[in-house]
Amino acid sequence: MTIKTHIAYKILSKLSVLCLLPMRKTISIVILAVFVVGIFFVSEYRETRSPVYVAARYGVDMTEEQSKGASMVMKTLFSVDTYHPWLVDLPDTSIKVPLTQLHGFGKNGIASGKYEDGPERGSVSMVYPEIFALKLGDPAQEMYFTAPYFVSNQGSGVFWYLGLFRYDNRFKSVSQIDWIYLGDRITWHAILSDKLGTNWLRLQFHGLTMPITKRLQKIPANELPEP
């Protein structure tokens, strides 16, 4: 229970003494109390409908400016007005990074967010033009997709990953299911469908010394992890 909700219940509990007051004063006090309690609950509802509140549930601190940026990312990429930020896993940690900024246009578009992990500071950048929808689940309720992203910090490395995500049509939210490591300082090319009508994928990118091709086997629908 939040502080505001606790105060509201306190106000309601005090109304039991009104039976000792004249009727006219009792009605006035009841109206005032209902008005005050209403303000508290409306304020509480609005706070829970913000990216700041949702991110806090995952242990992520966001400023109001970052909150507005997170809403803009979802609006731009998925054409939805939502209070759910897109949280991306920072691999090999429990940290989730909200995407709060957009950079570039067209095929060079990037959605990024900053993070702190103790003394380490860095950023996560999603290559959103490479979002690749998978033929999984019920399209009326959800969309499974993959997208490449990279992590950079104070060091010289730029570490690339391929993430598996689920977009929920009902809640207008994106959750990350898994990720795989691709390489350090690679040059990304494309995600291609390996076979028509299946979820076999072929990733094309270049490493530091040689071209690399990775194939991802399709995930049977009955083996999908719970969102």
* CA dist., res. 227 & res. 225, Å (int): 6
Distances (CA, A) of 83 to 4, 45, 65, 79, 148: 21, 12, 14, 13, 24
Q: Is the pLDDT of residue 121 over 80?
A: yes
Handedness of CA 185, 186, 188, 193 (dihedral sign): negative
Tokens of 132: 């690749």
Range from 20-29, 120-129, 183-192 carrying the lowest mean pLDDT: 20-29
Confidence band for 96, pLDDT divided at 50, 70 and 90: very high
The two beta strands, 120-126 and 110-117, are: antiparallel
**Can you give the residue range of the structural domain that contains 142?**
61-223
Query: In this structure, are 33 and 126 located in the same domain?
Result: no
Handedness of CA 154, 159, 165, 167 (dihedral sign): positive
Query: In this structure, are 83 and 106 located in the same domain?
Result: yes
Is this structure's pTM higher than 0.95?
Answer: no
Q: Quick one: pLDDT at residue 28?
A: 53
Report the number of distinct structural domains present in the chain. 2
Confidence band for 124, pLDDT divided at 50, 70 and 90: very high
Residues forming a β-bridge with 175: 166
Query: In this structure, are 72 and 175 located in the same domain?
Result: yes
Query: In this structure, are 65 and 42 located in the same domain?
Result: no
